[in-house]
Amino acid sequence: MAGECQGKRMSEQMSGNDDMLPLIVEPETLKILLLTNEPTEHLWLRCLLDRAESFNSQLAWCSDLSALHELLNQDSFDVVLWDCNCRDEDPLVFLGLLAIESDQAPVICLSAESERQMSKPIFQAGGADYICKSLLSEVLLERTIRNAVLRHSVNHQKDTRSHIDTLTGIVNRRVFLDRLHQAILRSERNKEVLGLVFFNIDDFRRINDALGYRSADQLITMLTSRLREGLRRSDSLARIGGDEFAVILENLDNTIDANHVTSKLLAMLSEPFIISHRQLVITMSAGIATFPEAGQTSEHILKHANRAMLDAKREQGNSFHFYHQKMNVAVERELELEAEFRTALRDGQLRLYYQPRVSIANDQVVGYESLIRWEHPTKGLIMPDQFIPAAERSGMIVPMGYWVVEQACRDLARLQELGYDDLVCAVNLSFRQFYDKKLSETVFRIIYNADINTGNLEFELTESAMMYDQEYTQNCLGQLAQLGVSFSLDDFGTGYSSFANIQKLPISTIKIDKSFIDNVCTNVDDEVIVKAIISLAHNLQINVVAEGVEDKEQLNFLLTNHCDEVQGYYYSKALKFESFLNYLESSQSQWPAGIDVIG
């Protein structure tokens, strides 16, 4: 490639001088982002840049901040040209933000003000250079851009050397605080939860004395690798001190999520390390501080995570504490719920309830959805919304899900024995269960043992589960479809899947989410959406079920618009198996095959 050839030529000229800084090869084509709200300025700069001799340029132009965010999300740039008039807040504050947004690409500012007035504050706020527009020429523009890119590249290399911990290769405290600061700004803007976890090895001094420095260093390196393995790529890891590490967890769904990541990491680190053919087991203590609860600045949050870690040290090893007492209470409550739920599954406190699905055309029950309940010995009936999130976080959702499939198949077999041959039994599959490696194998075993007509079994999956990995979905649905089961897309309309994607999957039914049905008779948007879903689905020969139908008006609307089936309190809530049987029997229009109607 042209850039590589140029690099070779230059390095050949300079070879023989090993002490020099690694050679910086100017990119052949510079990607330049221009932020100005004056279209003529864009054309003018375009002309000047076209005449540059030392580089080619690709100029992307945006005129406002939302377009800027979009461009920066899609691409990275070598340099940003910013007309200081284009902003809606203090230019120097904005400059700081721009530097972060542009992933630290150098920002060259343009303005009508004189250099004398502007240069100093611009440099202080992190700008790479300043050009007064009245002096702007092709030579000045080319030189300023070229020098900014070169300076940036040299600084970056120097920074990399001084900011990396030499033993572990991860960043040190200084860079970490800077990253934390940037992560806080991002969290603030996106209204997301951020967690900082501070880890410290228990009794490290003793380990150091016992092993000697070299082996202790080896332990630190191995421990770093394990931490890295347990983290997502976007999580930032740093070595803060000799035996101290910190991790930034961004985009957490909620504060309590930090608890799960920390438990997982502590469990990974408690596995033995093999050092000089000897097994070594260590314990660690961790402290968690979250933004915004634990403070507004990076220093505060780090300090508070450190303080929480010191609290954890008072307990036996592998403990962690939140900086906020109320979080510790919440974690304790959740751990209690998880433990109780484990007992519930083992001791048979879970029940399956069944909610009828009714064909609109003839008012007949054509199927039902299986919905889980927890009959708690002292707290009474607990609804899934109260325990499924905890089951999901602890991984218990997978064994729970298999219990549901098993119970649903047992009851389906009983129904088939009673002559209800045509009812479709729908079972919810959670995201985690769908991606369980043993799904097809386990479902096959359960179905085989239950001795049911598999054509009556339908799995409900959400859009997020189906669209997360479409290749996997294709394969998995294909395998299960071979057993005879069918699939429906649950909560349709709440995700992002398009009919183009749905078309590729073997889905026989779409369930329109209750949130659209709620106001279908009063909100024009919902009315239009529901009509469109029904018509698009029918074009693909897909059956449509409306969820959460509560009144006659909604039912009439769905009837008029040719929806196939409804499910909702208008007909019945979810019922225990025996009550569901009574419902089937008393529903005048649905008589099981082979049963005579008397009177």
Q: Residues in the site for ligand C2E, rule: CB under 6 A?
A: 355, 370-372, 383-385, 388, 401, 404, 428, 430, 490-491, 547-550, 567-569, 574
Residue 419: helix, strand or coil by DSSP?
coil
Contact 250, 234 (CB under 8 A): yes
Name 273's bridge partners. Answer: 280
The yes or no reply on residue 460 touching Ca ion (CB under 5 A) is yes
Q: Identify residue 596 by its one-letter amino acid code.
A: D
Minimum gap (Å) between residue 473 Cβ and ligand C2E: 16
* DSSP tag of 88: S
The pairing of beta strand 424-428 with beta strand 129-132: unpaired
In 3D space, the residue among 58, 103, 60 whose CA is nearest the CA of residue 82 turns out to be 60
Report the residue number, 127 or 548, with the smaller CB distance to ligand C2E.
Answer: 548
As a whole number of angstroms, the distance between CA 315 and CA 485 comes to 51
Question: Which of Ca ion, ligand C2E, none binds 404 (CB below 5-8 Å, type-dependent)?
Answer: ligand C2E
Question: Which of ligand C2E, Ca ion, none binds 127 (CB below 5-8 Å, type-dependent)?
Answer: none
Contact 323, 259 (CB under 8 A): no
Report the residue number, 29 or 515, with the smaller CB distance to ligand C2E.
Answer: 515
Question: Which of Ca ion, ligand C2E, none binds 430 (CB below 5-8 Å, type-dependent)?
Answer: ligand C2E
C-alpha distances in Å from residue 451, one per residue of 308, 407, 411, 455: 55, 13, 11, 12
C-alpha distances in Å from residue 538, one per residue of 51, 362, 449, 520, 535: 58, 19, 35, 19, 5
Q: How many residues bind Ca ion (CB under 5 A)?
A: 5
Report the residue number, 83 or 406, with the smaller CB distance to ligand C2E.
Answer: 406
Binds Ca ion by CB under 5 A, chosen from 428, 433, 543, 572: 428
As a whole number of angstroms, the distance between CA 418 and CA 423 comes to 12
Number of H helices, E strands in the chain: 23, 22
Report the residue number, 227 or 397, with the smaller CB distance to ligand C2E.
Answer: 397
Binds Ca ion by CB under 5 A, chosen from 78, 243, 458, 490: 490
Report the residue number, 81 or 397, with the smaller CB distance to ligand C2E.
Answer: 397
Contact 451, 470 (CB under 8 A): no
* DSSP tag of 377: T
In 3D space, the residue among 519, 507, 587, 580 whose CA is nearest the CA of residue 549 turns out to be 519
Minimum gap (Å) between residue 409 Cβ and Ca ion: 17
Minimum gap (Å) between residue 473 Cβ and Ca ion: 17
What H or E segment, with its residue span, contains residue 404? helix 397-417
Minimum gap (Å) between residue 404 Cβ and ligand C2E: 4
Q: Helices 65-74 & 91-101, crossing angle to 10 degrees?
A: 20
Q: Report 491-510 residues binding Ca ion (CB under 5 A).
A: 491
* DSSP tag of 599: -
Report the residue number, 165 or 518, with the smaller CB distance to ligand C2E.
Answer: 518
Contact 63, 37 (CB under 8 A): yes
Report the residue number, 129 or 463, with the smaller CB distance to Ca ion.
Answer: 463
Minimum gap (Å) between residue 545 Cβ and ligand C2E: 11
Question: Which of Ca ion, ligand C2E, none binds 384 (CB below 5-8 Å, type-dependent)?
Answer: ligand C2E
Minimum gap (Å) between residue 444 Cβ and Ca ion: 22
Residues 535-554: x/- map of binding to Ca ion (CB under 5 A)? ------------x-------
Question: Which of Ca ion, ligand C2E, none binds 175 (CB below 5-8 Å, type-dependent)?
Answer: none
Q: Report 195-224 residues binding Ca ion (CB under 5 A).
A: none
Report the residue number, 246 or 545, with the smaller CB distance to ligand C2E.
Answer: 545
Minimum gap (Å) between residue 364 Cβ and ligand C2E: 18
